[in-house]
Amino acid sequence: MKKHLIIGGGLAGCALAYRLIKKGHHVRLMDNNLNKSSFVAAGMINPIVFRRVNKSWRVDDFLPSAIHFYNELQEKTNVDFFSSIKIRRFFASEQEKKYWTQKQDNPSYVKYLANPDEGHYPYSINKHRLGSGIVKNAYRVNAMSFMSAVHRMLESMGVLIYHEFEYDKLDKKDLSYNGEFYEAVVFSCGSDHRDIPFFNEVKIEQTKGQILTIHSEQITEKETWNHKGFILPIGAELFKVGATIERGFNDIRTTDEGKTVLVNVIKGIFSGEYEIKSQIAGVRPTVYDRRPVMGEHPNHKGIFIFNGLGTKGYLMAPLLSEEMADFIISGKELHQEVKLSRFYKKS
């Protein structure tokens, strides 16, 4: 059986490699080890989009698949990286609180929303006069542990190699690279997508994000707080605070401006003591319509793309990688909204 070649060993490429291998296919996964997103992500899986209090796109499909996927990989790698979390959302407006109250009894929201409270919290935080609501069925993947464990697993299986893919070495007609022939070549290069010469029409934007890690003895470790950003407990009285959303940036390093934004996130929720331990930055691959991009190149048979996971990659990747694998293997129809064809003008 011929192999599939995947370029990019971030969340998208690793999840797709795993799905294809599980379906009995051979895979070569190539990564240049310059990851900008999957390793630094907060890894939160939040089923709700705040302000208008809507369910996240396809969350009822994505969530069961994600829970199964991360639990299965925890077992296979023998590393703990997946846990459920409780998110407390401090309402930003009366309107948001109204939406929440209207939707919490709606049968399709009941498993995600708990009653708003009036602001009586058993710990020290700023007074939030509008109160808060709890999001149920939320999860966190410890991204660094997960990605490291999956890389180790795929490397030990002889699937993952650390290598910069060179586009001029790919023969697009017979799908060969460095003398090896492939059935499919899939590009999952995240925010480095613009370097790919075959998919110029596909506009994947770079959206930078920065995160602080803080230490505090005064913040509860039982809840993740959300208000203009999040404070997420990660154990040992440490918390991640994030994340900035920056477009049009000059470089991908951490900045003082990013730190100020995140300190203001903390101030908006909590006025106790804390110490900043570290700051990191990454770049998300985002698309203007907030939908991933999946499909086969219209002019080059066998060349595929799986990218654009945006801000919710950890929720979407498990099911989308399954759907992408089925599309590559048997041409099974992809979901209308992710189709690559939306970038190509009809003639």
Ligand X SMILES: Cc1cc2nc3c(=O)[nH]c(=O)nc-3n(C[C@H](O)[C@H](O)[C@H](O)COP(=O)(O)OP(=O)(O)OC[C@H]3O[C@@H](n4cnc5c(N)ncnc54)[C@H](O)[C@@H]3O)c2cc1C
Structure tokens at 340: 């690559």
Cα separations (Å) of 334 from 53, 310, 346?
Answer: 27, 18, 19
> In a 10 Å sphere around its CB, with 0-12 CB exposed, 13-18 middle and 19+ buried, how is residue 247 labelled?
exposed
Segment lying near ligand X (by CB under 6 A), choices 40-48, 111-119, 266-274, 329-337: 40-48
Q: How far apart are CA 170 and CA 177, in angstroms?
A: 5
Minimum CB separation from ligand X for residue 214, in Å? 15
CB nearer ligand X, residue 32 or residue 213: 32
Instruction: Determine, following the binding rule CB under 6 A, whether residue 255 of this chain makes contact with ligand X.
Output: no
Minimum CB separation from ligand X for residue 15, in Å? 8
Instruction: Determine, following the binding rule CB under 6 A, whether residue 149 of this chain makes contact with ligand X.
Output: no
Report CA 228 to chain centroid distance, whole Å: 19
> In a 10 Å sphere around its CB, with 0-12 CB exposed, 13-18 middle and 19+ buried, how is residue 276 labelled?
middle
Binding track over 285-304 against ligand X, x by CB under 6 A: x-------------------
Instruction: Determine, following the binding rule CB under 6 A, whether residue 165 of this chain makes contact with ligand X.
Output: yes
Instruction: Determine, following the binding rule CB under 6 A, whether residue 40 of this chain makes contact with ligand X.
Output: yes
Rounded (to 5) percent helix, strand, coil in the chain: 30, 30, 40
Cα separations (Å) of 105 from 97, 101, 203?
Answer: 14, 8, 39
Q: How far apart are CA 298 and CA 116, in angstroms?
A: 49
Cβ partners under 8 Å of residue 338, min gap 6:
291, 292, 293, 294, 295, 320
Instruction: Determine, following the binding rule CB under 6 A, whether residue 184 of this chain makes contact with ligand X.
Output: no
Instruction: Determine, following the binding rule CB under 6 A, whether residue 42 of this chain makes contact with ligand X.
Output: yes
What three-state secondary structure class fits 267?
A: helix
Contact by Cβ (8 Å): 293, 343: yes
Instruction: Determine, following the binding rule CB under 6 A, whether residue 170 of this chain makes contact with ligand X.
Output: no
Binding track over 76-105 against ligand X, x by CB under 6 A: ------------------------------
Segment lying near ligand X (by CB under 6 A), choices 9-17, 107-115, 173-181, 322-330: 9-17
Q: Which helix (H) or strand (E) holds 276?
A: strand 275-286
Instruction: Determine, following the binding rule CB under 6 A, whether residue 284 of this chain makes contact with ligand X.
Output: yes
CB nearer ligand X, residue 116 or residue 304: 304
Instruction: Determine, following the binding rule CB under 6 A, whether residue 282 of this chain makes contact with ligand X.
Output: yes
Q: How far apart are CA 319 and CA 198, in angstroms?
A: 26
Instruction: Determine, following the binding rule CB under 6 A, whether residue 314 of this chain makes contact with ligand X.
Output: yes
Instruction: Determine, following the binding rule CB under 6 A, whether residue 323 of this chain makes contact with ligand X.
Output: no
Among 20, 310, 323, 325, binds ligand X (CB under 6 A): 310
φ, ψ for residue 203, nearest 5 deg? -90, 100
Instruction: Determine, following the binding rule CB under 6 A, whether residue 311 of this chain makes contact with ligand X.
Output: yes
Binding footprint of ligand X, residue count (CB under 6 A): 43
Instruction: Determine, following the binding rule CB under 6 A, whether residue 318 of this chain makes contact with ligand X.
Output: no
Instruction: Determine, following the binding rule CB under 6 A, whether residue 4 of this chain makes contact with ligand X.
Output: no
Q: How far apart are CA 163 and CA 5, in angstroms?
A: 12
CB-based closest residue to ligand X: 10
Instruction: Determine, following the binding rule CB under 6 A, whether residue 213 of this chain makes contact with ligand X.
Output: no
Minimum CB separation from ligand X for residue 41, in Å? 3
Instruction: Determine, following the binding rule CB under 6 A, whether residue 8 of this chain makes contact with ligand X.
Output: yes
Residues at the site binding ligand X, with contacts judged by CB under 6 A: 7-13, 30-32, 34-38, 40-44, 164-165, 188-192, 209, 211, 242-243, 282-285, 307, 309-315
